[in-house]
Each structure stands twice: as C-alpha cells, then as structure tokens.
C-alpha cells in the first residue's frame, strides 16, 4: 500500500511523495521518489522489532530531556532561595564570631574581677580561693544534646559549640564570683562597722600638753597615772566624737572632777570619754557619728586652763589614745 505524503520542494518545481508500506516480512519502508518519473530518491527499511526498540529509546531520551528541562526550571526558581540561605548562614557565622570576641572581652574583665576579689578577700581576712578551684569554676565541656549532631562537625556548628561552651563556663564563673563577693560583702560590712566604731581621729585641734602615763598632777602635785590625753586650745573649740557610738553619759556640772563630761559606748569593747567641756551638745542615748561635734572645749571641773581631757578604754581598761589616732 502506497501513500502520498507531500510536495517537499516547490522552489525546484519538483514534486516528491513519501510512501510508507509494510511488507510481508514485517518491515517498514520509507521511500521518497520523484512525482513525475517515479524514480526512487531515498529508501529506508526497518523491521518491526527494531522499530519498537528505537521507539522506546526515543521515549526514554524524550523523558530525560523533559525531566532536565523541568529540573532546570525548578532550580532556577529556587536558586534565589538558596542564595538567601547562604547569605543568612554567613551572617549567622559572622554574628557568632562577634559574640565570641565579646565573650573574650568579658573573660578579660572577669580576670580583673578575680584580681580584685583576691585583694578583697585578703583585706577581709577571708580564706583565698585556690586557683584550681577558680579554674574548675570556669571549665568543663559542653554537655551532649546541647547542639544537634548534624551540625556539630560543620564550621557553623563548631562556632556555635565554642560559644555555648564559653557561655557555660562564664555562667559557672559568675556563680563562683557571686558567692565570693557575697562573703566579702558580709565581712567588709561588719569590718566597716567595726572601723566606724573604732576611735581613730583626734577629738579636737590643739596642742597635746599632757600624754598618757605617769605624771605629777598639776593641781594635786602628786604622782599619778594619767589615763588619757590633754589637748589645749581656746574656749569654744569644737570637740568631735572619734567613732560612731551611743552617748551613755552627758553630764552638765562637775562629773568627779571632769566638769562637763561625755561618755560614748562604741561597741566592740570600745569606750571614749571627754572632760572639762565648756558645753555639752548631745544627750544621753543619742547616736553620734565619727567626726560629729558633741561639745565645746572649756576648763570646767578640776582644771588649770582650757583643754580637753580625752580617754579611750578597751574592755574597761584605759589605753594610750595616740595608738588610736591615724597618722599619729
């Protein structure tokens, strides 16, 4: 059976017909011949089996070609998203590196705090924290499960792991420092109270005319033990409390020869006494601060002139006031 296909060359004014037929041997023949002379121009024969094979191969290649086109289009669509993810990853790594640098700066500051902590513990007479214990406070690996295993081996995973470890170390170190500083604060608060309640300044400006120890009494003219300091100056010179405390005696008159007299209990076994005052400016039971004016210098009581008699007693025993005056 012959079938005319089409005229394929109008420019050369020739007509060609395409015939395809199936012979008895199940071959397919493609023939192109001249339309006028019927002379064969091209013959191609293929059996039915091979045709099916070629058709399948052609179908496979066509499928691969279409799949490649689809994948190319898919990749082109999602390529921008990929680049965005890469940019976000790079930005994340950059931020992690910045955090890591800031943590290093914090560690240097923590080192300074450690130095201050050591000095404060020494001042507070606290037992120093061994360096090994301080290192234990900042050491230790990151616990399993803190970072997903699928990113641990990546660059970003290692950066995150480093930051996680430093944060964990810093948290333990801060807990140790906080505990130490709390102890220091408690001790120094107590010591500050002790310092504030310990006599440490001159009670008045003037010249020391009689010191602590044995002397001849200027009026009684007999040898006696002088239990304090005599500081001379003009009438009305301010007299100040030499430490924080509570006034236990504020006597206006002649207190056993001391004239106008003040006695202050500072606690911790300390007591101070101030005699021969012109005026008493405080009252019994009043709390006074170190340096506060409590009276005015005079010559009341048994006295040869304007001066202040100043005593310090520790657990009831008179001590040399010069040993309790800073810089003396």
pTM of the model: 0.51
Mean pLDDT on 235-248: 96
pLDDT greater than 90 at residue 263: yes
| Nearest Cα residue to 173 out of 114, 217, 231, 213 | 114
Confirm if 197 and 134 have CB atoms less than 8 A apart.
no
Are the CB atoms for 240 and 294 separated by under 8 Å? yes
The length of the chain in residues reads 328
Average pLDDT, the chain: 78
Q: How far apart are CA 1 and CA 62, in angstroms?
A: 31
CA distance 176 to 293: 44
Range of weakest confidence among 140-149, 220-229, 283-292: 140-149
Structure tokens at 96: 């992690």
Q: Are 244 and 197 a contacting pair, CB within 8 Å?
A: yes
Question: Quick check: 197 and 270 in contact, CB under 8 A?
Answer: yes
Residue 161: strand, helix, or coil:
helix
pLDDT digits over 56-107, tens only?
A: 888 888 888 888 887 777 777 777 777 788 788 788 878 888 887 887 887 7
d(CA 163, CA 104): 10
Locate 322 and state its tokens: 């010069």
> Sign (positive/negative) of CA torsion 107, 113, 119, 121?
negative
Q: Which long-range contacts (CB under 8 A, 24 or more apart) does 138-145 make?
A: 138/169, 138/170, 138/172, 138/173, 138/176, 139/169, 140/168, 140/169, 140/172, 141/165, 142/168, 143/168
Beta bridge partners of 143: none
The arithmetic mean of pLDDT across residues 237-249, rounded, is 97
Number of neighbours of residue 260 by Cβ within 10 angstroms:
22
Band (147; pLDDT cuts 50, 70, 90): very low
Query: Beta partners for 238?
Result: 296
Give mean pLDDT, residues 299-303.
91
Q: Residue 314: pLDDT band by 50, 70, 90 thresholds?
A: very high
192 three-class SS: helix
Residue 75, token pair as written in the block = 């990749």
DSSP-derived secondary structure letter, 145: T
260-266: long-range contacts at Cβ-Cβ below 8 A with a sequence spacing of 24 or more? 260/295, 260/298, 260/300, 260/301, 261/301, 262/294, 262/295, 264/288, 264/294, 266/197, 266/198, 266/199
Can you tell me which residue has the tokens 């290192």?
135
């Amino acid at each position: 059976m012959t079938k005319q296909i089409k005229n394929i060359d109008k420019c050369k004014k020739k007509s060609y017909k395409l015939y395809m037929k199936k012979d008895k041997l199940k071959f397919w023949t493609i023939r192109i011949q001249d339309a006028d002379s019927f002379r064969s121009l091209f013959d191609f024969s293929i059996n039915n089996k091979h045709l099916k094979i070629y058709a399948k191969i052609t179908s496979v290649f066509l499928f691969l070609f279409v799949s490649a086109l689809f994948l190319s289009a898919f990749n082109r669509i999602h390529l921008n998203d990929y680049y965005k993810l890469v940019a976000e990853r790079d930005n994340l790594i950059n931020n992690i590196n910045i955090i890591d640098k800031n943590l290093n700066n914090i560690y240097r500051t923590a080192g300074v705090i450690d130095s201050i902590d050591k000095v404060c513990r020494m001042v507070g007479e606290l037992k120093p924290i061994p360096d090994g214990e301080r290192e234990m406070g900042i050491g230790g690996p990151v616990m399993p499960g803190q970072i997903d295993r699928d990113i641990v081996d990546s660059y970003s995973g290692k950066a995150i792991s480093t930051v996680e470890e430093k944060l964990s170390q810093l948290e333990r170190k801060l807990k140790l420092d906080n505990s130490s500083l709390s102890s220091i604060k408690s001790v120094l608060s107590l010591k500050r109270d002790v310092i504030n309640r310990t006599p440490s300044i001159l009670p008045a400006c003037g010249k020391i005319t009689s010191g602590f120890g044995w002397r001849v009494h200027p009026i009684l003219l007999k040898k006696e033990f002088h239990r304090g300091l005599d500081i001379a100056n003009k009438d009305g010179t301010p007299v100040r409390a030499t430490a924080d405390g509570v006034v236990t005696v504020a006597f206006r008159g002649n207190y056993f020869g001391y004239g106008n007299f003040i006695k202050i209990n500072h606690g911790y076994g300390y007591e101070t006494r101030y005699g021969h005052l012109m005026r008493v400016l405080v009252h019994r039971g009043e709390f006074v601060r170190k340096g506060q004016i409590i009276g005015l210098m005079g010559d009341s009581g048994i006295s040869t002139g304007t001066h202040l008699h100043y005593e310090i007693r520790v657990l009831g025993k008179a001590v040399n006031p010069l040993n309790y005056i800073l810089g003396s």
